[in-house]
Amino acid sequence: MKVLITGGAGFLGQRLARDLLARGALRKTVGNGGAPEPITELVLLDTTPAQAPDDARVRVETGDVADRALLERLIDTDTAVVFHLAAILSAEAEAEFDLGLHINLDGTRALLEVCRARGHCPRLVFTSSVAVYGGDLPEEVQDDTALDPQSSYGVQKAMAELLIGDYSRRGFVDGRVLRLPTVAVRPGRPSGAASSFASGIVREALNGETAVCPVSGATAIWLLSPRKAVQCLVTASEIEGEALGTRRIVNLPGVSTTVDEMIEELSKFGGAKAVARVDWAPDEVIERIVSSWPARWNDARAKKLGFTGDASFHAIVKVYVEDELPWAEKKRA
Amino acid sequence: MKVLITGGAGFLGQRLARDLLARGALRKTVGNGGAPEPITELVLLDTTPAQAPDDARVRVETGDVADRALLERLIDTDTAVVFHLAAILSAEAEAEFDLGLHINLDGTRALLEVCRARGHCPRLVFTSSVAVYGGDLPEEVQDDTALDPQSSYGVQKAMAELLIGDYSRRGFVDGRVLRLPTVAVRPGRPSGAASSFASGIVREALNGETAVCPVSGATAIWLLSPRKAVQCLVTASEIEGEALGTRRIVNLPGVSTTVDEMIEELSKFGGAKAVARVDWAPDEVIERIVSSWPARWNDARAKKLGFTGDASFHAIVKVYVEDELPWAEKKRA
């Protein structure tokens, strides 16, 4: 089978690509009794060339995800799974309204249209977000809590969810929408997400750099580690469509924490020295967007479907320190 | 002020135009202390030429609501209110997927973009629908019940709602989204709505014609009379933006009834002869769409904002008989 990852140069796209190449196959029950089917081609599409290992299965493509002609070259009836991760993130979509609509809405629509035209109903795994929620929220968001997004990013993701739901209902694609908590702690550099600080206050502070925190310590966030996020993407691609039924959206597992609690964990791993590197610099726009997101949601359905999250924020930082810090230190050396 | 009605040749557009011309002015509190401002131009846009009285204020335009160049000719900074009624209705949008997306989504987006480009934040009144709801619904839908539309029409309306909400939040337009119950009893001919029968079983049966009913007698529906629907459109255009706050969506008042109860009312007005004209011809697609809609929702917020509905289905039929039947009979004569 062929697999396409849009946003293939992005953080999650890169992680997912590595994971898929390592596992070499995906389960696709329909037709062959559940045995994993080898991945013969992995296309990484992004606006900049994705980094890729020297592997004959990998094909790196650059371009605009809203460009149908390009997508038509990349998707054929052997394309069994599309991971649609390409997005303009929350802070950037708020600042660049037209760009956000173009990538987050038109890009999704172009992808859906090309899949539809192929006629083979491929699996489409889409990453949605906490940002689709907002307004008056219950303490714990439920599967049937109404969406009331307070950012352009959240609106665009909610629209894309609806469109994927309809294309799935009509049998044009086999859509699976994952609502991701904030994915942290990420290695690398700050991103265009309003929640970028959630990685930064741990990553930069442990890395000997100043870590800017634009929100107050009381701010609650709902988190998932990068490792678990990738695992959930793979699970979403392998799950049976019947298990989802008509509801193609899954609110992924997360852990609820506050910025103060995150700082407490930071002190455990990096001491007072690390904590002192956090520069509290309130940013009204970021604060408004992030505080409109739910602090937790009910993830019972996700867990029942086989998606797993992290044990605690402590566990998330521990994995980050184990997996990423040696690498970061090596890079600095 | 100038006023634009998209879908100006449609049933509601025609009624609204007549009402606006008769009242001659609309309140637009900002800037002149609440006094009604005269309507100097009323543009009726539709794909076919709208019927219009011989009135110097009326301008009839034909074209595609998704055509930006056309909209740029019709909207300027004097356009104080846009009533966006143009739509491909539920049954038609289910049958003609691309056309539905084009008019219901691209049309709304084009309109929003042209309003945004003008920079004067006009009031935009948009008609949404019961069809945005679906799936597992509580007996009475609440303002915070999640949308789970089960038709392409419902999906497209829900997407348009989200987009209007974001354009309003960003100050590009001053949007007011009215979720309409099924509007019945309408005079005239059957429409492209899945709920077209709700008018037909009264209208055709009282008119001496066969009335096809594609759903079962137990089917529950949520109704608003044409007269009240037009009144709600006007109210929506005059209401202060502050009264709505960040929530630009209003679930309009309605009356909940069943098809059996409607038939009972039909017998009161037309006797057994009228009831005998109802031809029960189940249609699976129509039944699936209509039964996915809510049978009632909580309309307390709408009423608090000054929107009013009908007293009962009996009252709705009474108004239809008084207003429409003499006209229909005259036409037949």
> Rounded to a whole number, what is the distance in Å from the CA of A87 to chain B's nearest CA?
17
Cis peptide before B185 (omega within 30 of 0): yes
Whether the per-residue pLDDT at B332 is higher than 60: the answer is no
> Rounded to a whole number, what is the distance in Å from the CA of B275 to chain A's nearest CA?
37
The string of pLDDT tens digits covering residues A174-228 is 999 999 999 999 998 888 889 999 999 999 999 999 999 999 999 999 999 999 9
In order, the DSSP letters of B248-310 are: -EEE---EEEEHHHHHHHHHHHHHHHHHHTEEE---HHHHHHHHTS-S-B--HHHHHTT----
Taking an 8 Å cut-off on Cβ atoms, the answer to whether A148 and B247 are in contact is yes
Distance between CA A11 and CA A8 in Å, rounded? Answer: 8
> Rounded to a whole number, what is the distance in Å from the CA of A143 to chain B's nearest CA?
8
Chosen for mutation from B156, B161, B166 (greatest number of chain A CBs closer than 10 Å) is B166
What is the percent of chain B with per-residue pLDDT over 70, rounded to a whole number? 96
Provide the mean pLDDT of chain B.
94
Taking an 8 Å cut-off on Cβ atoms, the answer to whether A146 and B149 are in contact is no
Taking an 8 Å cut-off on Cβ atoms, the answer to whether B150 and A163 are in contact is no
Q: How far lies B243's CA from each of A282, A295, B158, B303, in Å?
A: 31, 29, 22, 12
> Rounded to a whole number, what is the distance in Å from the CA of B303 to chain A's nearest CA?
21
pLDDT of residue B322: 87
- Nearest chain A residue to B162 by CA: give it: A155
Chosen for mutation from A153, A162, A172, A246 (greatest number of chain B CBs closer than 10 Å) is A162
> Rounded to a whole number, what is the distance in Å from the CA of B208 to chain A's nearest CA?
39
pLDDT of residue A177: 98
Taking an 8 Å cut-off on Cβ atoms, the answer to whether B166 and A155 are in contact is yes
Nearest to A230 by CA among A125, A327, A160, A108: A125
Find the DSSP H helices in B170-214.
197-206
- Nearest chain A residue to B151 by CA: give it: A166
Phi, psi of A51 (to 5 degrees): -70, 140
- Nearest chain A residue to B172 by CA: give it: A97
Interface of B with A (CB under 8 A): 97, 135-136, 143-150, 152, 155, 158-159, 162-163, 165-166, 169-170, 246-247
Chosen for mutation from A116, A155, A246, A247 (greatest number of chain B CBs closer than 10 Å) is A155
Report the residue from A146, A159, A170 with minimal CB separation from B145.
Answer: A146
- Nearest chain B residue to A95 by CA: give it: B170
pLDDT confidence tier of residue A325, bands split at 50, 70 and 90: confident
- The tally of CA atoms less than 13 A away on the side-chain side of residue A167 is 32
Chain B partners of A149 at a C-beta cutoff of 8 Å?
Answer: 162, 165-166
Nearest to B108 by CA among A123, A105, A8, A180: A105
pLDDT of residue B33: 65
Whether the per-residue pLDDT at B333 is higher than 80: the answer is no
> Tokens at residue B244, please?
């709505």
Distance between CA B151 and CA B134 in Å, rounded? Answer: 9
Mean pLDDT in residue range B311-321: 95
By annotation, the residues of B acting in catalysis are: 153
- Nearest chain A residue to B136 by CA: give it: A144
Chain B partners of A97 at a C-beta cutoff of 8 Å?
Answer: 170
Whether the per-residue pLDDT at A329 is higher than 70: the answer is no
Phi, psi of A127 (to 5 degrees): -95, 110
Angle at A160 between CA A286 and CA B293, to 5 degrees: 115
Provide the mean pLDDT of chain A.
94
Q: Residue for token digits 């009605």? A: B5
Whether the per-residue pLDDT at A109 is higher than 90: the answer is yes
Chain A partners of B149 at a C-beta cutoff of 8 Å?
Answer: 162, 165-166
- Nearest chain B residue to A138 by CA: give it: B144
Chain A partners of B148 at a C-beta cutoff of 8 Å?
Answer: 247
- Nearest chain A residue to B163 by CA: give it: A155
Chain A partners of B163 at a C-beta cutoff of 8 Å?
Answer: 155, 159
pLDDT of residue A33: 65
Taking an 8 Å cut-off on Cβ atoms, the answer to whether A97 and B170 are in contact is yes
Taking an 8 Å cut-off on Cβ atoms, the answer to whether A165 and B159 are in contact is no
Chosen for mutation from A116, A144, A166, A297 (greatest number of chain B CBs closer than 10 Å) is A166
The string of pLDDT tens digits covering residues B36-75 is 999 999 999 999 999 999 999 999 999 999 999 999 999 9
Q: How far lies A10's CA from each of A6, A52, A283, in Å?
A: 9, 12, 25
Please, what are the domains in chain A?
Answer: 2-180+226-252+297-310 (3.40.50.720)
pLDDT of residue A333: 46
> Rounded to a whole number, what is the distance in Å from the CA of A320 to chain B's nearest CA?
36
Whether the per-residue pLDDT at A69 is higher than 90: the answer is yes
Q: Are B204 and B186 in contact (CB under 8 A)?
A: no
Q: Assign residue B157 a region (left: φ > 0; alpha: ψ between -120 and 50; beta: otherwise).
A: alpha
pLDDT of residue B134: 94
> Rounded to a whole number, what is the distance in Å from the CA of B40 to chain A's nearest CA?
33
Taking an 8 Å cut-off on Cβ atoms, the answer to whether B155 and A165 are in contact is yes
- Inter-chain Cβ pairs, chain A and chain B, closer than 8 A: 54
Chain B partners of A133 at a C-beta cutoff of 8 Å?
Answer: none
The string of pLDDT tens digits covering residues B157-172 is 999 999 999 999 999 9
| ipTM associated with this complex | 0.94
Query: What letter would DSSP give residue A50?
Result: P
By annotation, the residues of A acting in catalysis are: 153
Q: Are A26 and A78 in contact (CB under 8 A)?
A: no
> What length does chain A have?
333
